[in-house]
Amino acid sequence: MQEVEDQAAEHPVTGAQALFSRCRFSPFADGTVTYNALMPNEHNVIVDDTAFGFADGTSCYNPQNEQNIVVNPTNAMNIVTSSNDYRYEFRCYAYVSDDGGTTWSNVAIPGWSGPTGAKGQFVKTGCGGDPVMAFGPDGTLYFASLTYNLDKFPRTMSGVAVSSSPDGGHHWTAPVMVAYNATGNFFYDKEWLGVGNDGTVYLTWTNFYQGPRGLGYLKSPIVMASSRNGGKSWSSVKEVSDAAHPYNQGSQVAMAPDGTLYVAYEGASPSSGYNHDALVVARSTDGGTKFVTTEDARDFG
C-alpha cells in the first residue's frame, strides 16, 4: 500500500480528483501497460474512452468496476453488462451488444445524477455503486444500484433504486426509489435483482443499522422488496434474514422453475458466537411472504 501511495505522490493529479488506484492503464512515461493486448475473440466494451492527466504529462484511463453481465432470454444475441463508470464523474452505465458481444454501445442510464436529468430525491444523491441487472422472462431488463451522497460523512442519505429497459438496454425509464433514508441511521449496501417466472421483480439488499448519526454498527439484516408491475411501484420492505442471524452481508436472490424463491447471503453464525461466517439460504414457497432459513456451509477458521 505504501508503494502505491509513493507512486501516486510522484504523479500529482491536475484538474478533477482522481485516484492512482483507479487506473486501467499504467500512468508512466515509459508506456508500460497494465493489461495484455486483447485476443481475437476478446472485445473492448468501452466506447470513447477518456483519461485524466498528471502534472508530469502522463495520463491514465478512467476506470470501470463492479461489472455484471446478463443475456436476454428472448434474444441470445442481446448481451448487456453494467458498471460504475468514472469517465464523467461517477455515472451508471449499461454496455449493450446486439451481435453476441462483437460490437458495443455505451448507454448512460438517465435520471440517477444531476448531469443525466435527476429529479426528486435523486438530485440529492448520485449513482452509488453495486450495479446489478436482470432480465425478465419477457425480455424486460432491470437495473438496480445504490444511491447516496458521497459528500457527506457519515453518509446521511442512502437509497436503493431500479430502472427498466423495454428494448434490451438501449433506452431506460427514470429510476424508481425502492427504499430511501436520510437520517443517517441506516446505510444500504450490496443489492441484488432477480425476476420470477411470473415477471415479479425481487430486490434484496443489506440494511446496515448504524445507530444515531450513523456512527456505529448494531445489525445488518438482509431485506427485500418486490414489484409486480414491471418496477413501476414496489412493496414495503421486509426482512429476509431471521433473528438468529443479525449480522449479514451480500445477498443474491433467484427463483427456481417450480416457483420456490431463494435468497443466499453471508451471515455471522450464532454457532460460533458470531465470530465466523456461514453461507445462509432463506427459502420461500409463497413468493417471499415467509422464509425458512438454514446454514448450508460454515467457516470456523
pLDDT tier at 33 (50, 70, 90 boundaries)?
A: low
Task: Please say if the pLDDT value at position 194 is more than 90.
Answer: yes
pLDDT at 137: 97
pLDDT at 301: 52
- The least confident of 77-81, 117-121, 253-257, 283-287 is 117-121
Domain co-membership, 50 together with 71: no
d(CA 234, CA 21): 37
pLDDT averaged over every residue in the chain: 84
pLDDT at 220: 95
Question: What's the CATH code of the domain at 137?
Answer: 2.120.10.10
Q: Map the chain to HEC letters.
A: CHHHHHHHHHCCECCCCCCHHHCCCCCCCCCCCCCCCCCCCCCCCCCCCCEEEECCCCEEECCEEEEEEEEECCEEEEEEEEEEECCCCCEEEEEEECCCCCCCEEEECCCCCHHHCCCHHHHCCEEEEEEEEEECCCCCEEEEEEEECCCCCCCCCEEEEEEEECCCCCCCCCCEEEEEECCCCEEEEEEEEEECCCCCEEEEEEEEECCHHHCCCCEECEEEEEECCCCCCCCCCEECCCCCCCEEEEEEEEECCCCCEEEEEEEECHHHCCCCEEEEEEEECCCCCCCEEEEEEECCC
Domain co-membership, 32 together with 162: no
CA 221 to chain centre: 18
Mean pLDDT of the region 65-89: 91
Task: Please say if the pLDDT value at position 212 is more than 80.
Answer: no
d(CA 301, CA 295): 16
Domain co-membership, 87 together with 164: yes
Q: 13 with 57: CB under 8 angstroms?
A: no
- The least confident of 29-38, 201-210, 234-243 is 29-38
Mean pLDDT of the region 146-154: 72
d(CA 170, CA 98): 10
Three cell numbers, residue 135: 432480465
Domain co-membership, 72 together with 30: no
- Point out the domain boundary residue: 62, 96, 114: 62
d(CA 112, CA 147): 8
Domain co-membership, 56 together with 85: no
Give me the domain span that covers residue 35.
1-62
pLDDT at 104: 96
Domain co-membership, 78 together with 38: no
Domain co-membership, 177 together with 189: yes
Domain co-membership, 22 together with 167: no
Domain co-membership, 108 together with 56: no
d(CA 155, CA 51): 28
Task: Please say if the pLDDT value at position 24 is more than 60.
Answer: no
Mean pLDDT of the region 111-136: 88
Domain co-membership, 218 together with 249: yes
Mean pLDDT of the region 45-56: 76
pLDDT tier at 217 (50, 70, 90 boundaries)?
A: confident
Query: What is the count of structural domains for the chain?
Result: 2
- pLDDT tens for 157-184 read 889 999 999 999 999 999 999 999 887 7
Q: pTM for this one? A: 0.86
d(CA 268, CA 270): 7
Domain co-membership, 9 together with 153: no
Domain co-membership, 244 together with 149: yes
- Point out the domain boundary residue: 45, 62, 79: 62
- Point out the domain boundary residue: 27, 42, 62: 62
